[in-house]
Structure 1
Amino acid sequence: MKLAGSVRRIVAALIALVTTVMVACAQDANDYPTSARAEYVFGCLKANGETRQAIEQCSCSIDVVASLVPYDRYVTAETVLSMSQVRGNLGGQFRTSEQAASALNELRRAQAEAEVRCF
């Protein structure tokens, strides 16, 4: 009887450990806020037609991008895209910066991979 009780406690501890690890992995894979995902999908829909098929493809696309680019780098790339459209010296800094170009290239590579996988 003591052995059965010990085995149950060990099994319960292992289940708790596995559950904790799975939740942590799911959170790592889904670190983009819902609003960022929605904004990406809305923009994608505008560019690709507002059909049911486009919803599926655009949803797939942000999932691929999120799996390849950490959220902080995504925000950096989105900021670069936005600020590079500003005229004058401020916009020029975003158009010519090596860090800005690196972040933008990373996002573009992820979007190209998403295009291959989803469209």
Structure 2
Amino acid sequence: MFSRLPVALAAGLIVASACPSRAAGDYPTTALADYVLGCMKSNGETQEMLQRCSCSIDVIASIMPYDDYVAAETFKRMSLTTGEKSTLFKESAPAKASAAELRRAQAEADVRCF
């Protein structure tokens, strides 16, 4: 078991090195963890997906400032609600711009990490 540890670490370093580095503290740890857990839930709860999902949020963080990410996620989640007031979160110019920026960042993350 212990003889495999260096290989696993080396493999992890190879995957991690392909991902962009970002300044520490750009995104709070809870936001990173929330994204990675959701990504793994959707794509499989394996070590490989842990690496890929971690890479994905790093790419997004390198493209979008955290405040923009929060705004885009808020618009996205609120647009899923029903009722008359949800139209504001679906059709307003800021909502559309935030959604487009988030989709672009996620598409780039998919290309680089998956």
AA aligned to 2:95 is A
Partner of 2:96: 101
The corresponding residue for 1:117 is 112
More helix by share: 1
Q: What's the counterpart of residue 32 of structure 1?
A: 27
Q: Does 1:88 align with 2:98?
A: no
Aligned equivalents of 1:67 and 1:31: distance in 2? 9
Query: What is the match of residue 14 of structure 2?
Result: none
Shift in Å at residue 46 of structure 1?
Answer: 1.0
Alpha-carbon separation, structure 1, partners of 2:71 and 2:79: 12
Residues 42-69 of structure 1: CA distance to partner in whole angstroms, max 9, x if unpaired? 1100111111100000000000000000
Q: Percent identity?
A: 56
RMSD: 1.2
Give runs of ≥4 in structure 1 deviating > 6 Å: none
TM-score, normalisation: structure 2: 0.78
Structure scoring higher RCO (CA < 8 A, sep ≥ 6) equals 2
Q: Which runs of 5+ in 1 are unaligned?
A: 1-24
Q: Which residue of 2 aligns with 1:72?
A: 67
